[in-house]
């Protein structure tokens, strides 16, 4: 079953015909909320609001391990993450929908693995290509079907938050090779890999990064709202096309195809 993890601007999946909500218990504590199960374009899909259904959890407060564990435990076999980001590269202006292919992790202090503890063997998962190519292809083909332009190929910088970055930090991220900035991409992606769940992200650019373009003098939270709402409607159109495609596709082995 396809699972959608919704970020800022997608705390519910409006077209989803809800059939049930499942309370999940995990060895890692409570997930962000109940898992909503319903039918999207005739196909059963799961949905979980990453920040809670009232958007009450900051990026560093999200229990990523509980979220991923709960989704797999309840039957998820593929995950699409929807997230809002800032654009470093001028090619990714506000309103762009981007499928990242690489990421750089700048987060700290987050529980970032299932493989820890005295009774666990040490495991080093391959993370060369952090996003599942098959899942990205499903999204790209669905975007064409939905008539929604999508840009493929960008590096996502996962920062700690919840504050936004300084202009100098953005300059550093650009020197490191990053094109987008978000706060929730890690450890979510690697936890999905450890659980052998194919995982890809749909990133919605809601603002130019600090010191860039219209954010040269500061980032306007008010300006993000309309961009986020309009962009998420386009993302939902893509997801409506993804659902039946994902139902027909066999998951990539271990979610690790480059």
CA 251 to chain centre: 18
Q: pTM here?
A: 0.92
pLDDT for residue 13 is more than 80: no
Q: Kindly report the CA angle at 148 between 165 and 188, in degrees rounded to 5?
A: 45
What are the DSSP calls for 160-197, one per residue? --SSPPPHHHHHHHHHHT--EEESSSTTHHHHHHHTT-
**In 118-256, where does DSSP find H-type helix?**
133-146, 167-176, 188-194, 221-248
Residues counted in the chain: 258
Return the pLDDT at 106: 98
Rounded CA separation 39/122 (Å) = 39
Contact yes or no for 142/99 (Cβ under 8 A): no
Number of domains in the chain: 1
pLDDT for 188 beyond 90? yes
**Range with lowest mean pLDDT among 26-35, 163-172, 219-228, 239-248:** 219-228
Q: Check which CATH number belongs to the domain holding 247 and give it.
A: 3.40.50.1580
Task: Using alpha carbons, list the distances in angstroms from residue 163 to 98, 181, 206.
Answer: 23, 12, 16
Which sign, positive or negative, has the C-alpha torsion 113, 118, 121, 124?
Answer: positive
User: Domain limits at 17?
Assistant: 2-255
216: Cβ–Cβ under 8 A, 6 or more apart, which residues?
Answer: none
Rounded Cα distance, 79 and 83, in Å: 13
Q: Which residues, at least 6 apart from 210, have a Cβ–Cβ distance to it below 8 Å?
A: 86, 164, 165, 166, 167, 169, 170, 218, 219
Residue 39, helix vs strand vs coil: strand
Integer angstrom CA distances of residue 47 from 73, 136, 216: 14, 18, 36
Q: Are strands 43-49 and 2-6 parallel, antiparallel or unpaired?
A: parallel
Residue 14 in this model has a pLDDT that exceeds 90: no
Give yes or no for a contact between 87 and 96, defined as CB atoms under 8 angstroms apart: yes
pLDDT(256) > 90: no
Residue 70: DSSP 8-state: H
- pLDDT tens digits, one per residue of 103-139: 999 999 999 999 988 888 888 999 999 999 999 999 9
What six digits make up the tokens of 10?
């997608």
Q: How far apart are CA 185 and CA 200, in angstroms?
A: 10
How large is the average pLDDT for residues 141-151?
A: 97
């Amino acid at each position: 079953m396809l699972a959608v993890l919704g970020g800022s601007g997608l705390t519910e999946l409006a077209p989803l015909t809800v059939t049930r909500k499942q309370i999940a218990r995990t060895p890692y504590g409570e997930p962000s909320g109940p898992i909503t199960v319903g039918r999207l374009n005739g196909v059963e899909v799961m949905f979980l609001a990453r920040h809670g259904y009232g958007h009450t959890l900051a990026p560093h407060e999200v229990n990523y391990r509980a979220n991923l564990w709960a989704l797999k435990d309840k039957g998820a076999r593929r995950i699409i993450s929807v997230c809002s980001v800032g654009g470093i590269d001028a090619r990714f202006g506000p309103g762009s929908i981007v499928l990242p292919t690489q990421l750089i992790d700048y987060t700290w202090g987050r529980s970032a693995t299932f493989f820890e503890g005295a009774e666990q063997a040490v495991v080093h998962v391959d993370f060369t290509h952090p996003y599942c190519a098959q899942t990205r292809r499903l999204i790209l083909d669905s975007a064409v079907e939905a008539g929604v332009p999508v840009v493929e190929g960008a590096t996502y910088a996962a920062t700690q938050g919840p504050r936004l970055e300084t202009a100098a930090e953005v300059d550093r991220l650009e020197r490191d090779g990053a094109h987008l900035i978000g706060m929730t991409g890690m450890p979510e992606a690697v936890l999905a890999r450890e659980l052998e769940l194919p995982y890809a992200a749909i990133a919605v650019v809601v603002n130019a990064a600090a010191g860039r373009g219209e954010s040269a003098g500061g980032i306007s939270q008010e300006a993000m709202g309309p961009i986020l709402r309009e962009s998420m409607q386009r993302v939902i159109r893509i997801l409506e096309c993804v659902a039946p495609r994902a139902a027909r596709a066999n998951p990539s082995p271990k979610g690790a195809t480059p």
